[in-house]
Structure 1
Amino acid sequence: MIQIAEDMGLVSELDLAVADKAMEQRNQLVKLYGNEVEITINVSLNSDKPVKSLFKDLMSLFRKHRKHLPYVTVELTESAYFSNENKNGDLLFELRKKGVKIAIDDFGTGYSSFSYLKDGNFDVLKIDRDFIINLVFGSHNYYIVKMITQLAHTLGVEVVAEGVESIKEVNILKDLKVDYLQGFYFAKPLPVKLLSAEINDREELRDLVEPEIQDVVLFTTPPLLSPTHTLREVKALFDRNSVHVLPVIIDKQCVGVLTKEKYNLHATPTLGTDRETMQEYRSLDKVVSAMMEPLISCVHETINASEIHEKIRNHIPLPWVVINDSGDYVGMIDTVNMIHYLNAQ
């Protein structure tokens, strides 16, 4: 039907008729789900009608449904719009001034997709289902979705994943911090008359509200060492604290770690007791720089479950040093932390 409408030059009129009906039916949706329920309308630009004229008709329709505008997203479905971005950017700006959000549909399928984001005219980015279907950790599509999501969030744009059909895809997309999921896993399209207030009371959706893994403390902040600390001071720290690794810090940067295992190679059982030898006593002045391990693995403080599993599969050894955007030390993830974390999943 859409192809016929396009061939007859009527696709713009079809879009407007469907949008008009959708905004009228939002009144019924509000009764079922509350005033915050949102709707998305599609605007195809595969038409002989000038874009400026199409947006003018859209503005007229919005005046009719003014009260719904804060809850409406306009989804642009054709890349034809972007053939003249500079000129058409003003039209998007006017739409957004009305409170309407703008979404890019099927993002990633066009060779110039990323250029759409440069002027900040969009609020929502929809990742095409070709990247979502059968999504698995570590695949090419996994890294594409991860990159798109991180880029969008950096630019203040929300992300929708289309075509979600399995709980495996749901869990991966949750870990990647995708904002919204859309697909048959949740429901197939239904006419408004078949919707009910209980539509969300389904086992598939209840699975998604399990306790968050983030409730488990993944990294800790043990006492800090400098390269000039001595074995005597290290012994006192390990004796007083239930820690398994101590970070070595210079100017907020972690330059190495001293694990309990490494410490035990330098500290004999009789060290600090009445039975210690003169050699053991002299060893108490050994400095941390002579004992620490300089080769360390760093992870960002926003590390999520998918990144953790990826590092485990790649045999990245613990402990991991947690850093922030500036590369400054934040905390440590050691073997004990990781065991507690994995047991909580």
Structure 2
Amino acid sequence: MPNRTGSRPSADAPEADEPEAGDAEAEFLTVLGQRVRTMRAVRAMSRKVLSQTSGLSERYIAQLEGGQGNVSIILLRRVAIAMGVRLEDLIAAVESPPDWPVVRDLLEKAGAEQISEAKRILSGAAAPGEGPTQRVALIGLRGAGKSTLGRILAERMGWTFVELNREIERENGLSVAEIFAIYGQETYRRLEQGALRQLAERPGPMVLATGGGIVAEPVTYDLLLSSFFTVWLKARPEEHIHRVREQAAKGLAQARMPDSDNALREIRAVLMSREPLYARARAVIDTADHTVAETAGELTGLVEGYLGGNARRGI
């Protein structure tokens, strides 16, 4: 490979270094391709959608994800912008800790006092945490039962039930589908974070049903985890598909029948990429092979156990 001046490597370099450099470059391209594929899957973007958004061919994206050939930094930048991620996150030499994007983004926006407080906490002088919060958030893929179970839990607890997407629609006067179509995913994620911040500051106990992709935005997801007792409603891909089809058959708002040829494969890919993120929730309930009543009972018991004797009626 040419060096920065475009000249060939020095003839004095040991011959053994050449295959080592080649192996390192091949490994870098492989890791780069895996990161692009994972970030695309987390955002539930098909190669076709990424191709249309970035202006690059599906063939180029397939080669990039497969770790094949050299990569233009300009084209890679277009891929990063299309997915709404940082270029440096794609080409980082080593894997960053899971919370690093949150820390980095918050530090960039922090003032002098906030940075000083962060340094105090990181030094080990942090104040003890507060008691249990009377706020529960349900996360999981579409079809996990977040809205159904959230309503049941809120009714049993005597709490307010809120759907985050409905809040976004109410505040902006557009449906989620219209926001995506007109302004794109980046704007939707910004509105999502703003709506969540308002809900986190709203007084009173609450059960919140979130969108499936909320875990893809580090700052938004960290806000959710820190402000709500978060529960992942876990299910098998086949069950997600079945429930979404049931929603579509009943004509529920914004329900869409998935493509039978590709839906299961896409759901599996998205679930696999998001599982490490969903697993950061405070608790997990596996809904596989359980009725709504059984899962609702388990969820209610889980929340009451977490909150202790002050669970019901916001006591």
- TM-score range normalised by the length of the shorter chain: under 0.3
Where relative contact order (Cα < 8 A, 6+ residues apart) is larger, the structure is 2
Greater Rg by CA? 1
Instruction: Looking at secondary structure, tell me which structure has more strand per residue.
Output: 1
